[in-house]
Chain A
């Protein structure tokens, strides 16, 4: 372990015993090996990780597809049941020999379990669980970096070398190792179970959450309502946590959460009806695929009402996953930490996993329903002819891929972080006023206006012109934002220096 030179006296490291000793040794070894490498090559490692994960998912998909082809087409007589296939190892071996694929050895034994739905589901679940774990870990790290930059400091810089990339992992280890405290006067059973009631629903939302046309664990026809339901059910855990803590701050936090959640679900689901009406389906994959073909085919630019619906949805979704300026349930200036005041260690971290995963899910809903899902802003007519594997790959990267989806989601997460660290928190009566008297009427106007527009103006000249105007307007806003950001990034030091020189005392 690196000992940093600090002016105060450092206590010697704690000696661990038993299995903990092995774990600590392993963690230290990994840290020691990984840190210099990551510090030296952060960019190449990121690119290699992306390429490797893509290749792994692609290989997995190809393999399962191939096995399915064997099972369905070449050996008749076995009906495709939900839970498994009736092919035996010998039959698979016979098939491989008939195709003169290198038949011998263990290949048939390796292929045999792949035909089972259960096996595929376990692989898919492992992937979802990893995605669910990685998103909060990096969103938290990124939140600390963004907060740091907004407050003119660096954020985490030490752990792991390059910009403190391992900070969240270190925090995770610390949280798991912490004592699991339950207050003496708390309702023990509810207190223990509440974090799971918040955590599990947001994990379940990922079950039918598509990252691409084929990148979805379960393509369900009611996926959209399922996800909204899961984001809504999450609040039960929060209320239980607040109540079971037997602490007035926690109960206040829980009550505010209940208030806010129940009221903001109404405008949120009302504006969600607008893209559903445009698409005519609740299937997220179909809604996403309908928006292929570039910037101007995205739902948000369909007409003025869908644009209003998009903005309204985004504001309501901030309240729904209790982000600032609606973070009243955990407002630290008045309620210590709100509903999780009494929590520590692993159970506390479950709330954070739930919150950051919910942020990703609501951003993903905004992207899928309004902003072209996994499709790029480039027009579809630019796509290459798919006559070689390289062109297919290029089309996949440039025109529709999960990376675009995750990239867009992280833009919206970035805006959430940005709002949190710049806007002040509003009062509870202002929260409820803005819901009932501002957001809900706007949502109703958007819904009715969109219905009228679809009947009267859809497909006419006016509709096309409006779509182009809206699209160009939004493109101008995006481009303007990017140029200002680039200017700030380039001249950041000079600007801060100028401000410091002119404004600080003694200048």
Chain B
């Protein structure tokens, strides 16, 4: 029994390590002709998708149901990381990595940091009043209706022979600096304004 309790974490780590290994999958031998994938995807890929989806939904529910704010942040980490895994499964490596570095590595840490600095009790609790619950329920129901409407009415074309030629990164970068330069620059100006605003608010009087 003692042996089992010792071995269990190691097995868990191995499983967690194997999961993205299947997701982060652009093979060297295929990179010359571009990344090819078969239309049906394969059993393991489907399995990985359902595992990721289960983690996204499960940790999302846990965020809603938990009352401890720091625990919520951990559940949020689960959601963000498995959404990144789903990006990897779709071969959108760049978006997946940016998801990890910006949300999981940056935003989440700032969030936890804020909670740590502002909380007064040792365990920051989150109590919901009844009218807040009703308001949140109404908003969520409306949003769920909207989402369902979109999902049911949208067309989902199935790409049978999806071949990405060359590195997707190069195309992404070229596209960002040619066809989509104006939105890109607008976003960077917005971020600059936000940064200046934050520095202004944090300055010493």
Q: Which A residues between 171 and 202 are near B, CB-CB below 8 angstroms?
A: 176, 180, 185, 187, 189-190, 193, 196-197, 199-200
Convert A4-40 into 0s and 1s, putting 1 for each residue whose CB lies closer than 8 angstroms to a CB of B.
Answer: 0000000000000001100000000000000000000
**A190 and B74 contact, CB distance less than 8 A:** yes
Of A80, A218, A258, which one neighbours B21 at CB under 8 angstroms?
Answer: A218
Contact B93 A258 (CB under 8 A): no
Q: Which of B5-60 contact A (CB under 8 A)?
A: 5-6, 9, 12-14, 16-18, 20-22, 24-31, 36-38, 41-45
Bound complex: CA A228 to CA B100 (Å):
10
Q: Give the residues in chain A near B37, CB-CB below 8 Å.
A: 82
Q: Give complex CA distance A153, B12 in Å.
A: 40
Known: A225-B97, A283-B167. A262 touches B70 (CB 8 A): no
Which A residue sits closest to B18, measured CB to CB?
Answer: A125
11 extra A-B contacts, CB within 8 A, seeds A180-B5, A218-B25, A244-B70? A185-B122, A187-B68, A190-B70, A204-B17, A219-B26, A221-B26, A221-B168, A229-B100, A235-B105, A239-B116, A251-B116
Do A121 and B104 touch across chains, with their CB atoms under 8 A apart?
A: no
A207 and B21 in contact, given A82-B42, A196-B12 (Cβ under 8 angstroms): yes
The reply on A118 being an interface residue by CB < 8 A is yes
Q: Nearest-CB distance from A18 to chain B (Å)?
A: 8
Q: Could you tell me which residues of chain A, from 460 to 498, have a CB within 8 Å of some CB in chain B?
A: none
Whether B182 sits at the interface, judged by CB under 8 Å, is no
A362 to chain B, nearest CB (A): 15
Q: At the interface, yes or no: B110 with Cβ under 8 Å from chain A?
A: yes
Asked if A243 and B70 make an inter-chain contact with CB atoms under 8 angstroms apart, the answer reads: yes
Complex interface bits, A219-262 against B, C-beta within 8 A gives 1, otherwise 0: 11110011011101101100110011010000100110011011
For A, the interface residue count at a CB cutoff of 8 angstroms equals 64
C-alpha gap A200/B19 in the complex (Å): 11
Query: B123 in the interface, Cβ–Cβ < 8 Å?
Result: yes
Say yes or no: is B94 at the interface (Cβ < 8 Å to chain A). Answer: yes
How many Å from the CB of A228 to the closest CB on chain B? 7
Size range of the interface on B?
Answer: 35 or more
The CA of A216 and the CA of B94, in the complex, are separated in Å by: 19
B162 to chain A, nearest CB (A): 12
A82-B38 contact in complex given A229-B105, A233-B105, A239-B109, C-beta closer than 8 Å? yes
**Closest 10 pairs (CB-CB, A-B):** A232-B105, A229-B101, A83-B42, A229-B100, A219-B28, A221-B167, A225-B97, A222-B93, A81-B38, A258-B113
Whether A373 is near chain B, meaning CB under 8 Å from some CB there, is: no
Shortest CB distance A332–B (Å) = 22
Picked from A83, A176, A254, the residue with its CB within 8 Å of the CB of B45 is A83
Find out whether the CB atom of B16 lies under 8 angstroms from the CB atom of A200: yes
B104 touching A236, Cβ below 8 Å: yes
Complex Cα–Cα for A457 and B123 (A): 58
Q: Is B203 an interface residue (CB 8 A)?
A: no
**Using Cβ atoms and an 8 Å threshold, which residues of chain B touch A221?**
26, 31, 93-94, 167-169
Distance (Å) between the CB of A77 and the closest chain B CB?
15
Q: Which residues of the other chain, B, contact A346 by a CB distance below 8 angstroms? A: 6, 9
Docked-complex contact B168 and A190, CB < 8 angstroms: no
**Residue A499 interfacial (CB < 8 Å):** no
What residues of chain B lie closer than 8 Å to A244, measured between beta carbons? 70
Bound-state CA distance A477–B168 (Å) is: 41
Partner of A255, one of B21, B110, B116, B167: B116
CB-based contact B13/A82 at 8 Å: no
The SS class assigned to the B binding surface is helix
Please, how many angstroms separate the alpha-carbon atoms of A261 and B30 in the complex? 37
Q: Chain B nearest CB: distance from A88 CB in Å?
A: 18
Least CB distance, B57 to chain A, in whole angstroms: 19
B71 within 8 A of A: yes
Q: Which residues of A contact B30 (CB under 8 A)?
A: 80
In the complex, A281 has a CB within 8 A of chain B: yes
Residues of A within 8 A of B137 (CB): none
Q: Do A258 and B74 touch (CB < 8 A)?
A: no
A203 within 8 Å of B (CB atoms) = yes
Give chain A residues whose Cβ lies under 8 Å from the Cβ of B25: 82, 218
Tell me if A203 and B17 are in contact (CB < 8 A). Answer: yes
B20 in contact with A207 (CB, 8 Å): yes
Determine whether A208 belongs to the interface, using a CB cutoff of 8 Å to chain B: yes
Residues from chain B with a CB closer than 8 A to the CB of A225 are: 94, 97-98, 101
CB contact list, A389-434 vs B, under 8 A = none
**A246 partner residues in chain B, CB cutoff 8 A:** 122
Mark contacts of B104-135 with chain A using CB atoms, 8 A cut-off: 1 yes-contact digit, 0 otherwise: 11101110110011000011000000000000
A293 to B132, CA, bound (A): 67
Q: Report if A95 contacts B (CB, 8 A).
A: no
Q: A217 CA to B29 CA in the complex, in Å? A: 12
Give, as a whole number of angstroms, the nearest-CB distance from A406 to chain B: 21
Whether B71 and A189, one on each chain, are in contact in the complex, defined by CB atoms closer than 8 angstroms, is yes
CB distance from A488 to the nearest CB of B (A): 42
A220 near B109 with CB under 8 A, answer: no
Whose C-beta in chain B lies nearest to the C-beta of A208?
Answer: B24
Within the complex, what minimum Cβ distance (angstroms) separates B54 from chain A?
Answer: 18
Task: Encode contact with A along B154-171: 1 for CB under 8 Å, 0 otherwise.
Answer: 000000000000011110
- Closest residue of chain B to A240 (Cβ to Cβ) is B74
Contact, CB under 8 Å: B112 / A243: yes
Q: Is the CB of A226 within 8 A of B24?
A: yes
**A455 to nearest B CB, angstroms?**
15
Closest to B39 in A: A81
> Which residues on the B side are within 8 Å of A282 (C-beta)?
169
Q: Once the chains bind, are A222 and B105 in contact (CB under 8 Å)?
A: no
CB <8 Å contact, A196 and B9: yes
Q: Which residues of B contact A218 (CB under 8 A)?
A: 21, 24-27
Q: Are A254 and B116 touching (Cβ within 8 A)?
A: yes
User: Which listed residue, B3, B97, B170, touches A229 by the CB 8 Å rule?
Assistant: B97
22 contacts between A and B (CB under 8 A): A20-B2, A82-B38, A83-B43, A122-B18, A125-B17, A187-B123, A190-B74, A193-B74, A200-B13, A200-B16, A219-B27, A220-B24, A221-B169, A222-B169, A225-B101, A226-B93, A229-B100, A232-B106, A233-B104, A244-B70, A251-B116, A255-B116
A504 within 8 A of B: no
